[in-house]
Chains A and B, each alone.
Chain A
């Protein structure tokens, strides 16, 4: 048998470039439905998942195992966790995913915040569909995308990023640990037992957390930390 058998790989037609996978996270059902129709209609893109809240969005993203993914995050997400929390979390957990913020006439501040917490760009829902799809392709190609806002906003957005940074509140991972356990309603002693530290250490951590978040109570601290993307989680030393 002199003839070499062809491997199964060679039998297949040349693989077309893999389609761009899009995950839609937007609070408005109609927006998701419209975008899904628009995107699924293209030969080079497909919808991988849809979600209406930040938590559901993150759940969906965790299940995705593939390359070339763009997450479209509606900046209007609100609730226990908002859009900025979601963007920041995706950026930390899945650094290779492209994230495109999306809104209807979002102001420069909202765009600054989205970029600061980790979005690779922003596209407005008011642009025409061709431009919208092009924004998805461009962000996938690694471009910084700003489609919709007038070009002179670049300066204002940059200045907003500086302000975001000043306003950014950064908790160490130990502080976050304490806060997460505190959110269960445990006393300082119980928290200390759980984490294997002294009660005094826990109260010191809590005081520092209150100071960083500018709050006076535990409930306010938990709410402030959970609500927004303005709480960074820093790896523990």
Chain B
């Protein structure tokens, strides 16, 4: 038994083991001193990159990972996603910058347990860690309301995508994909072994079905409906 545990909640109580993942030294210091101020908490490690965080999670098996969203390289959401995919039992507390507020919904989908802003003080941090360790969630009512709205918007988009997908033929989808890669009409024709004129006809039909007037709009709309994937996978 470690000394910290004895200071913590009596002899029979293990401390809550916390891994801090934050690249910014000052903010890392804030989280560390918050944890040190609470005898029930023990910092088992600190990481400044996503990859290091994943490694340390395996070696230290923390109860709680305090995770910065804005890590360089592999971002916090990706770290959280990989932890959940790997079946990690660690609770995840996100620390987000002010501009990253719209990622609450994404984080909820990944299955994080709490979400604090970078302005969070010592007591907010330790309180949040205590709450999520007990199985609770730390989201503000505003964050929850916004997430519900985003859920509604997502459902509408999914429904619309289904409707549009029913209209689009296999050939049209093929062409859509090719133009999203940046191929010209002529290149698409060559690739598919059909005449540019035919490609043009397909594209005109596509525009009508998607309700757009240009190639850029078509790609944007198709991507927003999830008919094509524009995002590059993160490292």
**A residues bordering B, Cβ < 8 Å?**
91, 115-121, 143-146, 151-152, 154-155, 157-159, 161-162, 164-165, 168, 170-172, 232, 234-235, 237
- Contact A155 B108, CB 8 Å, known A115-B155, A116-B159: yes
Q: Is B216's CB within 8 Å of the partner chain A?
A: no
Chain B residues near A (Cβ < 8 Å): 105, 108-111, 137, 139, 144, 147-149, 151-152, 154-155, 158-159, 161-163, 165-167, 226
- Chain A nearest CB, measured from B162 CB (Å): 5
B166 touches A171 (CB 8 A): yes
CB distance from A185 to the nearest CB of B (A): 27
- Taken together as a complex, chains A and B put the C-alpha atoms of A237 and B137 apart, in Å, by 48
CB–CB B166/A172 < 8 A: yes
A contact residues around B108 at 8 Å (CB): 152, 154-155, 158
SS class, residues of chain B in contact with chain A: helix
B165 touches A151 (CB 8 A): no
Check A162–B158 contact: CB distance below 8 A. yes
User: What B residues does A151 contact at CB under 8 A?
Assistant: 137, 139, 144
Give chain B residues whose Cβ lies under 8 Å from the Cβ of A120. 152
Contact B163 A234 (CB under 8 A): yes
Known: A152-B137, A165-B158. A157 touches B151 (CB 8 A): yes
Residue in A closest to B139 when the chains form the complex, CB atoms: A151
A161 contacts B155, CB within 8 Å? yes
From B111, B149, B152, B159, contact of A155 by CB (8 A): B111
Known: A115-B155, A116-B155, A151-B139. A158 touches B165 (CB 8 A): no
Which partner residue on chain A sits nearest B110 by CB separation?
Answer: A155
Complex Cα–Cα for A63 and B144 (A): 37
- With a CB–CB cut-off of 8 A, which chain B residues contact A121? 152
Question: A155 CA to B109 CA in the complex, in Å?
Answer: 4
* Chain B residues positioned under 8 Å from A158 (CB to CB): 105, 108-109, 151, 154
Name the contact of B152 in the complex, choosing from A91, A144, A164 (C-beta under 8 A).
A144
Which B residues are CB-close (under 8 A) to A146?
A: 148, 151
